[in-house]
Amino acid sequence: MKLFYIIRLFSLDIVAGALAALVFAASVMEIELKLSYYLIMALTVWLIYTADHLMDGAKTRGKSGSETANFFHTYKIPVILVFLIVLVLDFRLIVYILDEKIVQFGMGPGIAAVIYLLMNRYYDGAQKWLFIKELWVAIIYTLAIWGGPVIFGGDTVNALQMMVIASFGLIVLANVLIYSIYERESDIRDNNKSIVRDLGLTAAVNVATLVLTISMLTALTAYMLLDASLTIILPLLLISASMLLILSFPGIFSKGKRYGIFADLALLLFLLVLIG
């Protein structure tokens, strides 16, 4: 359990989920990615989430309701040093290994991620619809995962692949919504932006449920009408069902932050595509 706590503290479970999603995307686009591409994705995801934790820690100054934010504030110096080393390594890998077309595309999600971090920290405008945190994360994450596979696949996406990408994006949105729903009290205490604070708990749960329902219906439609492989559709259905389960039993999943553990582990089900 202590090892698992450390894995979650440093967002390594999120990195694993991103890599599983990348394996899934490559399979759907029927291409094979180099191991260096997976390494760059892992480092980039870790950098973004670590930067977010460091900014949360700086904002609350070690007095957050989140253990992660407090940890990153307390040990900010060594974490920043490691962050800079990984940043330089990641930059060099991107420049010397990735194709120019991939780098050009990656600038979009990269800039969007920087804007997200800054707005999440400083934006406090009246037009809250300009920054819906959960939607920003879902869009950036989906673009980052699918951009490379789509480009390597020839820049063409058929109807089946479009429906799979749509179902995937909705799952990511639901994953982020689950965190906001279960961490609403901590977000209120730390004055963090959250859709739950704007809509209310009941409305947020209804939105997450609707998002997952649409994701499942989209996947089922692709299976029945477009002759999608079961190994592609099954992960989408199982992950959506798992997240609906988390939403349905808050009393169980709120204990020991089980919601985060199971929501992130559910993403590893994307690896089921390897069965094919």
Walk me through the domains of the chain, giving residue ranges and CATH numbers.
2-275 (1.10.600.10)
pTM for this predicted structure: 0.91
pLDDT of residue 197: 80
pLDDT of residue 209: 96
From first to last of its 276 residues, what are the pLDDT tens digits of the chain?
778 888 888 999 999 999 999 999 999 999 999 999 999 999 999 999 999 889 888 887 767 667 788 888 889 999 999 999 999 999 999 999 988 899 999 999 999 999 888 887 777 765 566 678 899 999 999 999 999 999 998 878 899 999 999 999 999 999 999 999 998 887 777 777 788 887 888 999 999 999 999 999 999 999 998 888 999 999 999 999 999 999 999 989 888 788 888 998 999 999 999 986
Q: What is the 3-state secondary structure (H, E, C) of the chain?
A: CHHHHHHHHCCHHHHHHHHHHHHHHHHHCCCCCCHHHHHHHHHHHHHHHHHHHHHHHHHHCCCCCCHHHHHHHHCHHHHHHHHHHHHHHHHHHHHHHCCHHHHHHHHHHHHHHHHHHHHHHHCCCCCHHHCCHHHHHHHHHHHHHHHHHHHHCCCCCCHHHHHHHHHHHHHHHHHHHHHHHHCHHHHHHHCCCCHHHHHCHHHHHHHHHHHHHHHHHHHHHHHHHCCCCHHHHHHHHHHHHHHHHHHHCHHHHCHHHHHHHHHHHHHHHHHHHHHC
